Structure 1
Amino acid sequence: MAVPGGAYMMGATKEELGDSTNDKIKYLDETPRHPERVRSFALAKFKVTKREFSVFTKETGFVGKGCRIYDGKAWRYDPDADWMHPGFEQTEQDPVVCVSWDDAQKFIRWLNAKIPESSHHKYRLPTEVEWEYAARAGTATPTYWGDEPAETCRHENTRDLSKNALDQPAQAGGCSDRYAFTSPVGSFSTNPWGFSDMLGDALEWIQDCPKIGYRIGPSYAPDSSTTCRTRGLRGASWASIPIAVRAANRTARGPTERNSTVGFRMASDLSR
């Protein structure tokens, strides 16, 4: 879907985070809050699904074994887990998970090879600035539905009461979204711009190389080189605790790492 160009305030406010050591670290990573301008671009309404990814694997012979999963007692690396077997049952319409940043790039290159060279609509991952702009969808609150955690289950699939049986010590929202793991894309209401699951279901790879905090200045520009030691992740997942379910939340992992909480969504430039 086309996203109109515009401006917004990127980053977190002190008020949306708590006083724990972890919250203070997140605050340093998500500030300073600063203005950003975004050119119009296109972003997928949904994350890439398991069914869509299967077409790529059948045509290319892709095999991506090894993924960090939750085994019912703890998080661990399973060398046999993959996008088909992420440690829980999925439908074909659930978001594909257990895919690395490198895996997402292979999928995108495969898809772009089917598009005429003259087309402006080549697929890619969104930049961090684009992603947060679309996730906020014109709002300035921690989430697009406001700052009421009790409303989360109406809008997103995150860690809630349905997941208490999985990991009792972890924090959970005080509601139930009916899904212990991933849910079919589009199962919840969309944000004001019509995008689904921006703050839940699965974290999303972005194009940029992350840095701790935002380096703001005349020469500031996100690093999207091909030699990053880590790649950025935005949004939240079925396993995310309440403090992570915010438009400003950011994290990162190595480009070859696979996790059963991580998928991706595609973006595209619009014709100039």
Structure 2
Amino acid sequence: MKLFFSLGHVSEPFLRWFGIGLIASGLGLPFVDLVGRAASWKPPVVVAEDAPVLRPELVIIPAGKFLMGSPEDELRRDADEELHDVEIAQPFAIARTEISQAQYLEVMSKRPEESEHCNGAGVAANLPIVCVSWFDAVEYCNRLSEREGLQVAYEIQGEDVRWDRESLGYRLPTEEEWEYAARAGTQTRWVGTDDVDAVCDYANVGDLSAKAKNPWAEWFKCDDSFPTLAPVDALEPNRWELFGMGGNAAEWTWDSYYGTYPDSDEGNPNRNVAGASPSAYRVVRGGAWWQAPRHARVANRRREVASSRNAFLGFRVARSLPSDF
């Protein structure tokens, strides 16, 4: 066995952006929190000899407030995007990229079961894993936590999944965390820009390259050079050094889907449960390699049944930080 003292890999560029300096990765070095003081929390991570070497690189996202949703005059907004104030009370960590096919296979040892909708997106180590159900994603989170000696975030009993909020293991981001991280302190229509012709700088979306392969939908007029999936770190990151938040694979979040935003966990007890049926709806965020401008907007919310698998659905992981971080 090997013993590491680490949160995992955390992005140094993000902390440079905040003017903070070096934060360490998996080499037993201390890290620095968002106010520049040495952090005392260095959890022991017990890793077996055959544990994955392709750990997700994590970026620490600061606590803060933001406007979630879209203004009423945003073109092609949907009724479920009511603009409202949200406070992220605790900092958290989120993967710099979507989970790649190599990362998924190293933990799960096999590809997800394919459905009839899982064709043509591409197969390569550095492409995002797609055709994963919500259940596949939470299982990956638990298995990765187990391999790194972390307390798992989810109690899984068949199709009933409960989130242990005290766990510091890998998990899916909440819908609020996802939009907060995607916006990165901005209020733009798409990740990184309000200019529809600049979307392809940041996101692999349904553009001119995709049109050559799928000429049957509405497209961006820009060109990101990828007709289907792109490498997880292709194109430009957002201001917080996160790649692919606006496109490539759409991403599962933890939350159940409601026609309006849930007010709180207390008011919506089912938010903490996947449901007794694989037909339970979960929230999907972010654009995808073949999707149109309206679906690539930062505020866009979509729902998919938890058991669905298709060629544009992937995920990224997150981790909670201790309350005194």
Q: TM-score range by the shorter chain?
A: 0.7 to 0.9
Give 1:17 shift.
2.2
Give 1:116 shift.
3.1
Aligned partner letter, 2:171: R
The equivalent position to 1:137 in structure 2, one of 184, 187, 193, is: 184
Structure 1's 112 and 118: CA in aligned 2 closer, same or farther, altered over 3 A?
Answer: closer
Structure 1's 64 and 217: CA in aligned 2 closer, same or farther, altered over 3 A?
Answer: closer
The equivalent position to 1:127 in structure 2, one of 158, 174, 192, is: 174
Q: What is residue 275 of structure 2 aligned with on the other side?
A: 227
Give 1:67 shift.
2.2
Aligned partner letter, 1:257: S
Once residues 199 and 111 of structure 2 are traced to their aligned partners in structure 1, the CA distance between those partners, rounded to angstroms, is 35
- 1:1-272 equivalences under 5 Å are 1-18=59-76, 26=78, 28-31=79-82, 33-38=83-88, 39-58=90-109, 62=110, 64-69=112-117, 81=118, 86-117=119-150, 121-216=168-263, 220=267, 223-227=271-275, 229-272=280-323
- Deviations 1:158-194 (CA, angstroms, capped at 9, x unpaired): 0001122233231111111110100001111110011
Once residues 15 and 164 of structure 1 are traced to their aligned partners in structure 2, the CA distance between those partners, rounded to angstroms, is 28
Structure 1's 217 and 42: CA in aligned 2 closer, same or farther, altered over 3 A?
Answer: closer
CA contact 1:95–1:202 (8 Å) conserved in 2: yes
Once residues 118 and 237 of structure 1 are traced to their aligned partners in structure 2, the CA distance between those partners, rounded to angstroms, is 32
- Deviations 1:210-263 (CA, angstroms, capped at 9, x unpaired): 101225489656813131711110001001101111110110111111010000
CA contact 1:68–1:260 (8 Å) conserved in 2: no
Aligned partner letter, 1:109: N
Structure 1's 245 and 218: CA in aligned 2 closer, same or farther, altered over 3 A?
Answer: closer
Once residues 175 and 167 of structure 1 are traced to their aligned partners in structure 2, the CA distance between those partners, rounded to angstroms, is 15
CA contact 2:145–2:151 (8 Å) conserved in 1: no
Once residues 156 and 250 of structure 1 are traced to their aligned partners in structure 2, the CA distance between those partners, rounded to angstroms, is 17
Farther-moved stretch of structure 1 (106-115 vs 252-261): 106-115
Give 1:13 shift.
1.3
TM-score, L = length of structure 1: 0.84
Structure 1's 213 and 63: CA in aligned 2 closer, same or farther, altered over 3 A?
Answer: same
Larger Cα-atom Rg: 2
Structure 1's 29 and 68: CA in aligned 2 closer, same or farther, altered over 3 A?
Answer: farther
TM-score, L = length of structure 2: 0.71
CA contact 1:67–1:260 (8 Å) conserved in 2: no
Once residues 111 and 123 of structure 2 are traced to their aligned partners in structure 1, the CA distance between those partners, rounded to angstroms, is 18
Once residues 106 and 117 of structure 1 are traced to their aligned partners in structure 2, the CA distance between those partners, rounded to angstroms, is 14
Give 1:91 shift.
1.9
Q: Higher RCO, 1 or 2 (CA under 8 Å, sep at least 6)?
A: 1
Give structure 1 stretches of 5+ with no counterpart.
70-80
Once residues 123 and 117 of structure 1 are traced to their aligned partners in structure 2, the CA distance between those partners, rounded to angstroms, is 8
Please give the secondary structure, in 2, of the residue aligned with 1:16: coil
Once residues 105 and 172 of structure 1 are traced to their aligned partners in structure 2, the CA distance between those partners, rounded to angstroms, is 32
CA contact 1:9–1:35 (8 Å) conserved in 2: yes
Give 1:66 shift.
3.0
Once residues 311 and 133 of structure 2 are traced to their aligned partners in structure 1, the CA distance between those partners, rounded to angstroms, is 10
Q: Give the alignment's Cα RMSD to 1 decimal.
A: 2.1
The percentage of counterpart residues that share the same residue type is 31
How many residues are treated as equivalent by the alignment? 246
Aligned partner letter, 2:86: E
Farther-moved stretch of structure 1 (87-96 vs 98-107): 87-96
